[in-house]
Structure formats: structure tokens, C-alpha cells
Structure 1
Amino acid sequence: MSASAAKVSKKELNSNYDGADETSEKEQQEAIEHIDEVQNEIDRLNEQASEEILKVEQKYNKLRQPFFQKRSELIAKIPNFWVTTFVNHPQVSALLGEEDEEALHYLTRVEVTEFEDIKSGYRIDFYFDENPYFENKVLSKEFHLNESGDPSSKSTEIKWKSGKDLTKRSSQTQNKAGKKRQHEEPESFFTWFTDHSDAGADELGEVIKDDIWPNPLQYYLDRKMVQFTHLSRTCLVPDMDDEEAEGEDDDDEEGLEDIDEEGDEDDGEEDEDDGDDGEDDEGEDD
């Protein structure tokens, strides 16, 4: 093959290769544009689904209200229901000091209300009997989302009785005790009502709304089930324990009898030995 023919062949190959690249890039670009169109359709459906899901949630939220009301009426018949529920909940109990628990013994009702459009926020109401700590009958905390989606919160100002402000007492206790005690006594549960620093990451509010409020009975029953199980075992096991105890006593008595019998046998053997020794001594004397 001549040098000129070789050059022509090489040019043809390069031009074919470049043409393949151009075709491939064009196809990729078209595919990307189509993917973008399909993705827009998916996003549109997601938005539509969110709107429909919101309508369903609003519908069923209204349907649940009479049942929540009925449940609250029944809970009111059970002393210390809510304080027991909070103490049994692993996340909430970590926030409770001893005096917080004492104050929560006066808590008679908890209600969570999602605002009508649901997306804009919710409110938690705590109802208290007359108590030695504060004047309020109801303590509330609300969480809001404004039109731009920024979270905020506000709450009832607690009207503490003289010398009963648990939030200040907790702070003073920690300051006096120093660093060694800080990890032992948590901040007062009631500081939650005054903390609005990060409404978008309010874990306690979310726990109460999404975990405790839907089914508080499961946490109330945690301790009750343990007590019930303990009582059941106490009722069922005593006969077995008595039998075992009687068996042990019998064994002890048998063991003592065996020892006595062995002791008698040993005494007999010793007596025989003494007799033999006596005979030998007599023989020697003769």
C-alpha cells in the first residue's frame, strides 16, 4: 500500500470515529433532556400526592378527636397516669429530676392539637390540679412554621409560687455542687417551656406529639406489667418454694440421721477395738 493510500485510510477512520462521538454526545444530551422531563412529571405527582395525603390526614385527624376526648376522660380516672407514662419513657425520664416528678404528680391531662392545616404546627397543653409549685392551671407550648418554612415556638409563662421555681433551683444546685454533680441532676423538665432557642429541633415536643400522644397507654403499662408479672410469680411460685424448702429440710434431717448412724457405727468399732486391746493386754500380763 502506498503512503498516500495509508494516509487516506487513516483520515477516514478518524472522521468516522469523530462522527461516532458526535452522535453519542447528541444521544446523551437528548436522553438527559428526556430524563429531566420525566423527573418533572415525578415531582408533579409527588406534590399532588402530598396535597392528597394532607387532605387525608386532616380528615382523619378530625375523626380521631372524639376518641382522643373519650381517652382523656378515661385516663382522668387513673391516678398519676401521666407522670407514670413520662417516667417510663426512656427519653423523657432522662429529663426528669426528683422535684420534677413531684410536680408532675399534679398533672391530670395532656392534649396535643395539630393546627387545622397540620403543616403550620401544633400545640401541647398540660393541665394541672392545684399544686404547691405554680399558679397556672394549664401550661402550653406551641410550635409554628411561617410561610417561608422557618420554625418558631412560644409558651405559657409559668407563675411560680414563692421559692418554688424549679428551673432556678436546678441552676443553683448545679452551681453550688460544681461540675461533679452536673451529670447527676438534669435540668428541670420545666425549662423546656422557656427554651425557644431551636424550635425546629425540639426533641421533647416531637417525642410527646409523635410517640407518646398516639398511644400513651403502652408506656404507662410498662411498669404495671413488670409489677403484674412480679405479682403473678409471687402467687404461682410460693408452693414450689415451700416444697423445695420442705425437701431441703428433709434432706437436712436425713443427713443428720446418716451422720448419727455413722457416728454410732464408729462408736461400735471403737468399742470393739478397745475390747481387742484389752485381750492383748491380758495376754501380755499372763
Structure 2
Amino acid sequence: MSAEPATKKAKTDNGNSDEPKADYDAETQKALEEIDACQNEIDSLNEKASEEILKVEQKYNKLRKPYFEQRNELIKKIPNFWVTAFVNHPQISAILDEEEEECLHYLTKVEVEEFDDIKSGYRIKLFFDDNPFFENDVLVKEFFLGSAEPASTSTEIKWKDGMDLAKKNQDQDAKAGKKRSAPGGPPRTFFSWFGDNSDASADDIAEVIKDDMWPNPLQYFLVPDVDVGENGLEGDEDGDSDDEVEDPEGEDFDDGDGEDDGENDENA
């Protein structure tokens, strides 16, 4: 009969002298100490790598900045560039109402600025021409992520009389019984997102703008129109089934049963 395997005990060292420690033989104890020393070296290198990576990111943020500024100047030459890009983005368009889309026709420039140390946060700046919706010429949403409790702030939108789109959409959705967000949460629209600072650490729209839209908005401005069917897939214009495949000489054959159609005709 084989011997029962020895019970392994995890080594604990949490500063509590009352906590029992596992007993190891001298060879195992020596190996554990050497592993711990190796781990300390790895951790030290990881910290140095993080510091160097941060310096590289800061360096390239500075190098990219003039190109972002040049890109924004060129974008100004294209009417409705930003509203088109926003409408074409699947996640942003999902929270855009018709009036909000109309308002974004006055959006002339978007900027995303990371804080100097990068890790502590960033700001999103939306620049607007004079418009019938609000008095502001720039709206800023800032994220402070360096503390134990991430936070965000938003510019107070000075809505013109009767044009508060965030409140209007909430009232309309409440009357219609619509829910745009998680159960119990407020209706989700673009401007209600802008003013919502309840959970800065999980702001998916801000992350989309920062990490997807801002790095390359051109891809969303140029995105082709897609014919979306009932199942959310691109529709087949002529309605033909994929089961029939045309061979190189233009003759149709059925690839589903493995039998040649011409041979079946002769046997008919």
C-alpha cells in the first residue's frame, strides 16, 4: 500500500506571531528563501519597468500632441465630421437621441488630454459653436483616477430655456416606461452620461472616447453604411441562399449533399 501524501501547509507571514507557521526541512526552507529573494528582484524590476514605461508614454504623448492639433485643424474643414463619427460609432450612437444628434452638429472639436503623470487621470473636452441648446462653448469632463476612490467632474451645462436635453429625455423615457441603463439607474443618453459622475472607475463611454474614438476618429467618419437585418446581420441583397455555390465555369452545384446534380439528372 502506498504511503499517504504528506499534508502541505501554506507558509504564512502576516506579522502575527500567534499565527502558526509550517515546518519545513532545512533544504525546503533554504529553497523557499531563495525563491523569495528571486521574487523580490522580479518585483523590483517590475517597478523599474513601470517607471520607464511611464517616461516613454509621457515622451510620446508630447510627440503626438502637435499632430493631434494639426488633425483638429484639418477636421474643421470637413462639415459635421464629429457628429458623423459619433453616430457611426456603435457604442456612442446607442445612447444618442435625435435631438442630441442635432445638438452635436454644432460640435467643432474634441480633445482628450491625459494628466502629466498619465495614471492619475484625463479630461475630455468638447468644443461647440453657438447653438440653440446651451450657452457653453466648451464642455469638460475630468477623471481623477489616482486615489483609492476614483472621481469625475463635469462642466455645468447652461441650457437655454426649454432645451435641457438631459432632463427632457429622462422625462420622456419615464413617461414611456423606457429603461436605458441598469435597473434602478437613470435613463442613459449622451448628455445624461456627460453629467453623471456616480462611478468614475467604470465609465464605459468615456473610455470609448479616450481609447477608441480619439486615437483615430477618421475610421468612424469613413465607416460604410451597413444594411442591418432583423437579426443584426448584414442583409443579402438578392436573397440567395449560401447553400448554392457557383463553380468557376458558372455552373451551379449543391455543396450540401456531396452529389453531382448532373449525375442525378441522368438517373432521373
Shift of 1:150: 2.8
Shift of 1:151: 1.1
- Cα distance in 1 for residues equivalent to 2:175 and 2:155: 29
Shift of 1:194: 1.6
List, as ranges, runs of 4+ consecutive aligned residues in structure 1 with deviation greater than 6 Å: none
- Cα distance in 1 for residues equivalent to 2:169 and 2:193: 13
Shift of 1:225: 9.8
The question of whether the paired residues in 2 share the 8 Å contact of 1:141 and 1:193 is answered with yes
- Cα distance in 1 for residues equivalent to 2:42 and 2:203: 32
Call closer, same or farther: CA 1:198–1:211 in 2, change over 3 Å. same
Call closer, same or farther: CA 1:183–1:121 in 2, change over 3 Å. closer
Shift of 1:76: 0.6
The question of whether the paired residues in 1 share the 8 Å contact of 2:180 and 2:188 is answered with no
Shift of 1:39: 0.7
Secondary structure of the structure 2 residue equivalent to 1:132: coil
| 1:1-286 matches, cutoff 5 A | 25-146=25-146, 148-178=147-177, 181-182=178-179, 187-223=188-224
Amino acid at match of 1:177: A
The question of whether the paired residues in 2 share the 8 Å contact of 1:107 and 1:128 is answered with yes
Shift of 1:74: 0.3
Secondary structure of the structure 2 residue equivalent to 1:78: coil
1:281 alignment partner in structure 2: none
Shift of 1:224: 7.1
Q: Tell me the TM-score normalized by structure 1.
A: 0.66
Secondary structure of the structure 2 residue equivalent to 1:223: coil
Shift of 1:219: 1.0
* CA shift digits 1:10-63 (9 cap, x unpaired): xxxxxxxxxxxxx97322222111111101100100100000010011111001
Q: Tell me the TM-score normalized by structure 2.
A: 0.70
- Cα distance in 2 for residues equivalent to 1:183 and 1:151: 24
Amino acid at match of 1:202: D
1:277 alignment partner in structure 2: none
Shift of 1:223: 3.2
The question of whether the paired residues in 2 share the 8 Å contact of 1:97 and 1:187 is answered with no
* CA shift digits 1:126-184 (9 cap, x unpaired): 000111111100000001134x4431111100000101101111111122222xx4469
Amino acid at match of 1:33: E
- Cα distance in 2 for residues equivalent to 1:225 and 1:174: 28
The question of whether the paired residues in 2 share the 8 Å contact of 1:108 and 1:128 is answered with yes
- Of Structure 1 and Structure 2, the greater helix share is in 1
* CA shift digits 1:84-114 (9 cap, x unpaired): 1111111111111111111111101000011
- Cα distance in 1 for residues equivalent to 2:169 and 2:205: 19
- Cα distance in 1 for residues equivalent to 2:148 and 2:53: 19
Amino acid at match of 2:206: G
- Cα distance in 1 for residues equivalent to 2:224 and 2:141: 28
- Cα distance in 2 for residues equivalent to 1:177 and 1:117: 45
5+ long unaligned stretches in structure 2:
1-22, 182-186, 228-268
- Cα distance in 1 for residues equivalent to 2:137 and 2:96: 20
- Cα distance in 2 for residues equivalent to 1:165 and 1:25: 73
The question of whether the paired residues in 2 share the 8 Å contact of 1:81 and 1:220 is answered with yes
Shift of 1:188: 2.3
Secondary structure of the structure 1 residue equivalent to 2:123: strand
- Cα distance in 2 for residues equivalent to 1:85 and 1:213: 10
State the identity as a percent: 65
Secondary structure of the structure 2 residue equivalent to 1:42: helix
The alignment yields a C-alpha RMSD, in angstroms, of 2.0
Q: Figure out how many residues of one structure are paired with residues of the other and give that number.
A: 200
Secondary structure of the structure 1 residue equivalent to 2:68: helix
- Cα distance in 1 for residues equivalent to 2:150 and 2:188: 24
